Amino acid sequence: EKAAETHEFQAEVRQLLDLMIHSLYSNREIFLRELVSNAADAADRLRFEALQDKGLLEADPDPRVSIAVDTEGRTITISDNGIGMNREDVIDNLGTIARSGTRRFLDAMTGDQKQDAQLIGQFGVGFYSAFIVADEVTVHTRRAGEGADQGVLWRSDGKGAFSLEALPREARGTAVTLHLAEGQDEFLDRNRLRQIVRRYSDHIALPIELEDEQGEAETVNQASALWMRPKSEITDEAYRQFYQQLSYDPEPPLEWIHNKVEGNQSYTSLLFIPAQRPFDLFEPDASQGLRLYVRRVFIMEDKDSRLLPRYLRFVRGLVDSDDLPLNVSRELLQHNKLIDRIRGASVKRVLDTLERMARDDPERYARFWEAFGTVLKEGPVEDPGNAEKVAGLLRFHSTHGDGGSNVGLADYISRMHEGQKAIYYLTGESLAAVRNSPHLEVFRQRNIEVLLLAEPVDEWLVAHLNEFDATPLQSVAKGDLEIDDLGGADDGTTEPPETSESVEALIGRVGDALGDRVSAVRASSRLTDSPACIVVGEHEFGLNMQRMLKAAGH
């Protein structure tokens, strides 16, 4: 047998350990949530791999997590019969190699202990929370399908290094033992442990057992898949807790949508609309979306499942299908009629729910819009089939609003002047720039509302959204404005464009000076105060879009 060998923690891991111990101290009980969730993940992964290879289940097919306390030795052990780890896995996952979440967690820490305690689950650094309460942690593990002699023992005091040695292990899976630090004896109390498991891990869908001194096990969580229970039996509090366990978001969700569909195909979906943005909403590999289960077996992470389009990536939750094959692969998901139908129905449920929220509870909808409006604006581009429905949910700043981003296209249409033919908008780099644009002058004068669009995504939106409710959208900065077609009451101060000789001469001089940098110089009734403005052709990109394309290297 080889002797124990020592490895240094990678520098960022050391920094993380240090910070975590000090900054999460007042929420230290979350170590149990993290270790239990790792054990449950390990069980899920085993079930999934066992679909291909039944042998992995050995003689112990029922997944379970157990928590045992040794009062005299002052240790707690969390063990599972999940997938386990071999030597390489241990080194990769618990030590030297930089896991992408480590750096990002360090950057994202807010200093607010409660907030940070939630964050740690999002960043894949939960294991290290054991060191908040322990002065030594050992991990004894053996990967499913490998021989008992392939067992590995990892040991660390969390100070800067860990040791590894071979140690045979009969049982498949992992046992994590925490030797409690001075002053942490409260965690030897079973009542305390039971309370923590119920608070954080009640809806983990496998039994979490607490052993007593005689080794008798008591299941302390609900251990059933919440989404399979009848809606009438699930309290709001249970939904909220489930959401927290799923998302690590400390804010309760704005709304949830729980459906059981039977018929041609049967599935259950449970979708949540969060109240605040996750840190990675705009990162390409963000972990948002829906999890896929098949007959209660966890199949695929949110970001791989393609159960919702990108513009609804803020929705969290799951779909549990009765009809998909258990060995469903990513490729299969891409062209699968069942999945397409689930996806279509889920999109409709989310959009309908948002419509209802916007109508019945505008304040709550305003919170939603603040957090996720920018993402929803990708909708008409990505999902032309639902463009009109999504467009109805969009909210904008406007010359006629109260200054907030809360004017919908339907509001706009209901306020249009008689004879007005289009929904007018202006895009620009910033709200201030747009508000002060000379293009608005004639609209102000005639009291015609103009939507003010200052987010980068707005350019793409208006490039794809040509009309709403059969009314065209038109930029006030493009093409010829036929002043008489604008609608709205002339307040009597509009003067017809002068075409006297002196103006003709001025136009000629300006045209000569600008040369082929412009295609034309014209007198216009667009302006009331400013002497001149730049206008682009009806079918050209707007100036702001041109600026963006240039900045992006086009």
| Binding site as annotated, residues | 34, 38, 80, 85, 93, 100-101, 122-127, 174, 330
Residue of minimal Cβ distance to Mg ion: 126
Q: Which of residues 25-54 bind ligand ADP (CB under 6 A)?
A: 34, 38-39, 41-42
Query: Given the rule CB under 6 A, which of 123-131, 280-288, 319-327, 469-477 is the region that contacts ligand ADP?
Result: 123-131
Query: Given the rule CB under 6 A, which of 125-133, 232-240, 351-359, 383-391 is the region that contacts ligand ADP?
Result: 125-133
Q: How much is the CA Rg of the chain, to the nearest whole Å?
A: 30
Q: Which residues pair with 468 in a beta bridge?
A: 471
Of the pair 237, 285, the CB lying nearest ligand ADP is at 285
Of the pair 211, 382, the CB lying nearest ligand ADP is at 211
Q: Which does 82 bind (CB under 5 to 8 A by kind): Mg ion, ligand ADP, none?
A: ligand ADP
Which residues make Cβ contacts (< 8 Å) with residue 180, sequence separation at least 6? 74, 75, 76, 133, 134, 135, 187, 188
Q: Which of residues 509-548 bind ligand ADP (CB under 6 A)?
A: none
Does 116 bind ligand ADP (CB under 6 A)? Our answer is no
Q: Which does 115 bind (CB under 5 to 8 A by kind): ligand ADP, Mg ion, none?
A: none
DSSP-based three-state secondary structure for 490: coil
Does 126 bind Mg ion (CB under 5 A)? Our answer is yes
Phi, psi for 95 (deg, rounded to 5): -175, -95
Does 80 bind ligand ADP (CB under 6 A)? Our answer is yes
Closest CA to 449 of 405, 493, 398, 391: 398
DSSP-based three-state secondary structure for 28: coil
Of the pair 94, 210, the CB lying nearest ligand ADP is at 94
Distance between CA atoms of residues 237 and 198, nearest Å: 13
DSSP-based three-state secondary structure for 171: coil
Closest CA to 5 of 164, 196, 181: 164
Distance between CA atoms of residues 165 and 175, nearest Å: 15
Residues 200, 30 contacting (CB under 8 angstroms) = yes
Distance between CA atoms of residues 50 and 44, nearest Å: 10
Q: Which does 44 bind (CB under 5 to 8 A by kind): Mg ion, ligand ADP, none?
A: none
Does 127 bind ligand ADP (CB under 6 A)? Our answer is yes
Q: Is 431 exposed, middle or buried (0-12, 13-18, 19+ CB in 10 A)?
A: middle
Look at the block and give the residue holding tokens 């409709």: 348
Distance between CA atoms of residues 502 and 480, nearest Å: 23
Of the pair 63, 84, the CB lying nearest ligand ADP is at 84
- Shortest Å, Cβ 398 to ligand ADP: 44
Q: Which does 471 bind (CB under 5 to 8 A by kind): Mg ion, ligand ADP, none?
A: none
Q: Which does 80 bind (CB under 5 to 8 A by kind): Mg ion, ligand ADP, none?
A: ligand ADP
Binding flags for Mg ion, 27-46, as an x/- string (CB under 5 A): -----------x--------
Query: Given the rule CB under 5 A, which of 126-134, 149-157, 210-218, 296-304 is the region that contacts Mg ion?
Result: 126-134
Number of neighbouring beta carbons within 10 Å of residue 347: 22
- Shortest Å, Cβ 120 to ligand ADP: 8
Of the pair 80, 378, the CB lying nearest ligand ADP is at 80
Distance between CA atoms of residues 258 and 269, nearest Å: 6
Distance between CA atoms of residues 177 and 174, nearest Å: 10
Of the pair 80, 209, the CB lying nearest ligand ADP is at 80
Which chain residues interact with ligand ADP by CB under 6 A?
34, 38-39, 41-42, 80, 82-85, 93-94, 124-127, 174
